[in-house]
Chains A and B, each alone.
Chain A
Amino acid sequence: DVKVTQSSRYLVKRTGEKVFLECVQDMDHENMFWYRQDPGLGLRLIYFSYDVKMKEKGDIPEGYSVSREKKERFSLILESASTNQTSMYLCASSSDGDSYEQYFGPGTRLTVT
């Protein structure tokens, strides 16, 4: 079974803190993605990566950065957390070709106070 794990299920941080969200996949997938999920807005793509050390901006990259030093790990960084970054963060991975299906982690519920 494909497994995508995220470092925390719930996280509470203060405004201005630096926040790291970690995602690890065990299927040797080339592509990894970070989304945020907000009620009524669905999933919005923050950043994605199609190879080690490669990254591409998604639809809402402002206030976020990412790091992919190893193929299996993709980190989302909030340099200075703000209250409007309170959200559910979902990580996903996929392989090239086939049906391009994305496999999701369980999500991290981040609250910024």
Chain B
Amino acid sequence: GEDVEQSLFLSVREGDSSVINCTYTDSSSTYLYWYKQEPGAGLQLLTYIFSNMDMKQDQRLTVLLNKKDKHLSLRIADTQTGDSAIYFCAERFTGGGNKLTFGTGTQLKVEL
């Protein structure tokens, strides 16, 4: 079955870049997503990438996809205290219908 893994914690200083990593096992993934969850809130979609792309950039966010290694990363440039949250990667794989499989989430802490 499909599995999505992330490290649990990341701590960075304000102004630095953050890189959150994710590995997945299903090679038939079609879409891969990054969601953000602020304290006490639901998940909010940050960005997604289609599996035929290697990179996607959206303002301070850069998503890199390495299909060969089944590795997805989210880079946040100039990290701010407001970026402190839990970040989830998720995948939709071919044959999964409308289901998404979520990773365990990475708690990002931004320190002054």
Bound Cα distance from A61 to B45, whole angstroms: 25
Report yes or no: B44 in contact with A104, Cβ–Cβ below 8 A. Answer: yes
Report yes or no: A104 in contact with B104, Cβ–Cβ below 8 A. Answer: no
Which residues of A have CB within 8 Å of B41?
106-107
Report yes or no: B102 in contact with A107, Cβ–Cβ below 8 A. Answer: no
Which residues of A have CB within 8 Å of B95?
none
Answer yes or no: A45 CB below 8 A from chain B CBs: yes
Q: State how many angstroms separate the Cβ of B72 from the closest Cβ of chain A.
A: 15
Report yes or no: B88 in contact with A100, Cβ–Cβ below 8 A. Answer: no
Report yes or no: A90 in contact with B8, Cβ–Cβ below 8 A. Answer: no
Q: Interface 1/0s, chain B 23-39, versus A by CB < 8 A? A: 00000000101010000
Report yes or no: B102 in contact with A48, Cβ–Cβ below 8 A. Answer: no
Can you sample 23 A-B contacts with CB below 8 Å? A30-B98, A31-B98, A41-B104, A42-B4, A42-B88, A42-B102, A43-B43, A43-B88, A45-B99, A48-B98, A48-B99, A90-B43, A92-B43, A96-B98, A99-B31, A99-B48, A100-B98, A101-B33, A102-B100, A104-B42, A104-B43, A104-B44, A106-B42
